[in-house]
Amino acid sequence: MDWYPSPDEDVLLRTAAKFATGMAPAVAGSRWFRDPERRDIQQELRGWPPGPSYELNSTGVKAARRTGRALLVGIPMVANIIANLGGASGTPLGEVPVRGKPQEPENEVHDFPVMWAAPGTLARTVPWQLDPARRPEDYATDLVLTDRRLLFVGTRWGTLDKAEELGEFPRESIAEARQMKFSEINADVRITFTDGSWVRLFTGTPDSAERLGQVLSGTARVLTQSALSEGQRARVDQFMAELPKKAHPPTFTVLRSGIVLVESRVPVRAGSGIFETHSILMDDAGRPAEPGPDDL
């Protein structure tokens, strides 16, 4: 995906992003757009093309969804095992956890809003291309966080077209990004704006969902490649050379002990929207490093 920041800004994090999808039996495969009174607002979203209408699944569908979802959870788990048998050192997909208890049953079990927005709020201005049910099947969207804004970019798979900027928000308009663990491979994140509206997105990896929250809250410090030492840059070049050509550019996070976590996403398969995360740890000189007690 060909996109570059302005000369006066640095990219801190980039990840796949699209509206999340319900996992609980009653809401599996569904997503809704709500106002604070829990009314459907799809028809009120300016410039959006028509999309599907969803209803809660019946008892029979719920049982089928339970079985199908169990099989889906096994797919990234198998990919994780295979990836750890060889190839570049890393932790593809991190630990692929079994879903735990819902954090918000009203928004994850009995209903599944991916937009919560009163009239005139910022969540209503996110691009419609984030919705897999509205955009072309060969279209992909990314979230990019820089030192001064959060933006969404999009492109078509398999093309050399420059990615288009779909929408942007100043950093100061973002109140919080929270990883929502009751989701497929723990990769959902809820982005809340300062006006109280929010959107729920699937990021492709649990690492991306967690890191976005850490960077926005200030609990994680992210470096740009230009800030690395000569030894660190050499180690990163070696690390990236061991990964497939389709690997995404790496990100650099300073852990509490001072060592640097380097991560790169690799698509599991074309168009799946799920990624393996490969990572290494290095010290100031680029040598392999062990995590400290406070890093874990």
Tokens 């740890």 found at: 281
C-alpha closest to that of 17 among 221, 240, 177: 177
Q: Tell the burial category of 208 from Cβ atoms under 10 Å away from its Cβ (0-12, 13-18, 19+).
A: buried
Helix (H, G, I), strand (E, B) or coil at 188: strand
Of all residues in the chain, what percent carry a pLDDT higher than 70? 82
Q: In what order do the strands lie in the sheet with 260-267?
A: 221-223, 251-254, 260-267, 275-282
Residue 235: what are its φ and ψ, rounded to 5°?
-65, -40
CA of 287: how far to CAs of 106, 112, 235, in Å?
48, 45, 7
- Give me the residue spans of the domains in the chain: 11-217
Q: Tell the burial category of 56 from Cβ atoms under 10 Å away from its Cβ (0-12, 13-18, 19+).
A: middle
Query: DSSP assignment, residue 129?
Result: G
Topology of domain 11-217 in CATH is PH-domain like (2.30.29)
The residues that bridge with 276 in the sheet, in sequence order, are 266
Find out whether 123 and 34 touch, Cβ atoms under 8 Å.
Answer: no
Token pair recorded at residue 283: 């010290």
Give the pLDDT of residue 83.
33
Cα–Cα distance for residue pair 182/186, rounded to 1 Å: 6
Cα–Cα distance for residue pair 135/217, rounded to 1 Å: 31
pLDDT band at 156 (very low <50, low <70, confident <90, very high): confident
Average the pLDDT over 47-66 and give the result: 73
**Low-confidence winner among 57-71, 125-139, 189-203, 279-293 (lowest mean pLDDT):** 57-71
Cα–Cα distance for residue pair 70/268, rounded to 1 Å: 19
Average the pLDDT over 70-98 and give the result: 37
pLDDT band at 89 (very low <50, low <70, confident <90, very high): very low
C-alpha closest to that of 104 among 93, 116, 120, 117: 116
Q: What are the tens digits of pLDDT across the range 123-136?
A: 999 999 999 999 99
pLDDT band at 246 (very low <50, low <70, confident <90, very high): confident
C-alpha closest to that of 225 among 211, 217, 210, 235: 235
The overall longest dimension of the chain from CA atoms, in Å, is 60
pLDDT band at 71 (very low <50, low <70, confident <90, very high): very low
Average the pLDDT over 243-268 and give the result: 88
pTM value is 0.78
Give the pLDDT of residue 272.
60
Cα–Cα distance for residue pair 117/125, rounded to 1 Å: 10
Give the pLDDT of residue 271.
53
Cα–Cα distance for residue pair 214/212, rounded to 1 Å: 5
Token pair recorded at residue 95: 């630990």
Cα–Cα distance for residue pair 116/164, rounded to 1 Å: 25
Q: What is the CA radius of gyration of the chain?
A: 19
